[in-house]
Amino acid sequence: MAVPFLDLKAQFATIRDDVLKAVTRVFDDQAFVLGKYVEAFEHACAEYLGVKHAIGVSNGSDALLLALMAAGVKPGDEVIVPAFTFFATAGAVARLNAVPVFCDVHADTFNIDLKSAATKVSGKTRAIIPVDLYGQCADMEGVMDLARAHNLAVIEDAAQAFGATRNGKQAGTFAHYGCYSFYPTKNLGGAGDGGMVTSNDDELADRIRLLRTHGERPRYYNKQVGICGRLDALQAVVLHVKLEHLDAWNRRRAEVAARYNAAFAGHARIKTPPVSKGNTHIYHQYTIRIPDRDRVQGELSAKGVGCGVYYPVPLHLQECFKQQGGKPGDLPVSEQLCAEALSLPVFDQMTNAQIDEASKAVIEALG
Regarding whether 274 and 333 lie in a shared domain, the answer is yes
Which pLDDT tens digit goes with each residue over 215-229?
Answer: 999 999 999 999 999
- Average pLDDT value for the chain: 97
Query: Taking residues 233-254, what's their average pLDDT?
Result: 98
Per DSSP, what are the bridge partners of residue 165? 170, 280
CA distance 191 to 315: 29
Regarding whether 140 and 168 lie in a shared domain, the answer is yes
Which pLDDT tens digit goes with each residue over 311-349?
Answer: 999 999 999 999 999 999 999 999 999 999 999 999 999
Which pLDDT tens digit goes with each residue over 165-190?
Answer: 999 999 999 999 999 999 999 999 99
CA distance 75 to 98: 4
Query: Taking residues 279-286, what's their average pLDDT?
Result: 98
Query: Taking residues 111-135, what's their average pLDDT?
Result: 98
CA angle, 125 then 131 then 135, to 5°: 170
Host H or E run for residue 361: helix 352-366
Helices (H) and strands (E) in the chain, counts: 12, 12
CA distance 204 to 177: 8
Cis amide bond preceding 220, omega within 30: no
Tell me the residue range of the domain where 362 lies: 246-366
Regarding whether 324 and 188 lie in a shared domain, the answer is no
2 in Cβ contact with 361 (< 8 Å): no
At 367 the pLDDT is 80
Regarding whether 259 and 131 lie in a shared domain, the answer is no
Which pLDDT tens digit goes with each residue over 134-165?
Answer: 999 999 999 999 999 999 999 999 999 999 99
Regarding whether 251 and 185 lie in a shared domain, the answer is no
Regarding whether 101 and 25 lie in a shared domain, the answer is yes
Evaluate whether residue 2 is within a structural domain. Answer: no
Single-letter code of the amino acid located at 93? V
Regarding whether 357 and 289 lie in a shared domain, the answer is yes
**Which of 193, 209, 243 is the endpoint of a domain?**
243
- Whichever domain contains 302, its CATH number is 3.90.1150.10
Single-letter code of the amino acid located at 162? F
Cβ neighbors of 85 (< 8 A, separation 6 or more) are 131, 133, 157, 311, 315
Evaluate whether residue 1 is within a structural domain. Answer: no
Of 102, 166, 4, 58, nearest to 315 by C-alpha is: 102
Which pLDDT tens digit goes with each residue over 86-99?
Answer: 999 999 999 999 99
Of 28, 314, 41, 51, nearest to 195 by C-alpha is: 41
What is the four-CA torsion angle of 16, 18, 23, 27, rounded to 10 degrees? Answer: 120
Of 89, 82, 94, 83, nearest to 64 by C-alpha is: 89
Regarding whether 38 and 178 lie in a shared domain, the answer is yes
Evaluate whether residue 25 is within a structural domain. Answer: yes
Evaluate whether residue 123 is within a structural domain. Answer: yes
Supply the pTM of this predicted model. 0.95
Burial of 345 (0-12, 13-18, 19+ CB in 10 A): buried
- Residue 301 pLDDT > 90, yes or no? yes
Of 74, 60, 57, 64, nearest to 214 by C-alpha is: 57
Query: Taking residues 29-35, what's their average pLDDT?
Result: 94
Regarding whether 260 and 227 lie in a shared domain, the answer is no
Report how many domains make up the chain.
2
Of 195, 153, 174, nearest to 45 by C-alpha is: 195
Cβ neighbors of 129 (< 8 A, separation 6 or more) are 64, 79, 80, 81, 82, 89, 93, 154, 155, 156, 157
**Which of 199, 218, 243 is the endpoint of a domain?**
243
Regarding whether 266 and 312 lie in a shared domain, the answer is yes
Confidence label for 1 from pLDDT (cuts 50, 70 and 90): confident
At 266 the pLDDT is 87
Q: Strand (E) positions, 130-206?
A: 153-157, 165-166, 169-170, 177-181, 195-199
Evaluate whether residue 326 is within a structural domain. Answer: yes
Regarding whether 321 and 173 lie in a shared domain, the answer is no
- Whichever domain contains 85, its CATH number is 3.40.640.10
246 in Cβ contact with 254 (< 8 Å): no
**Which of 243, 277, 310 is the endpoint of a domain?**
243
Which pLDDT tens digit goes with each residue over 39-75?
Answer: 999 999 999 999 999 999 999 999 999 999 999 999 9
CA distance 180 to 197: 6
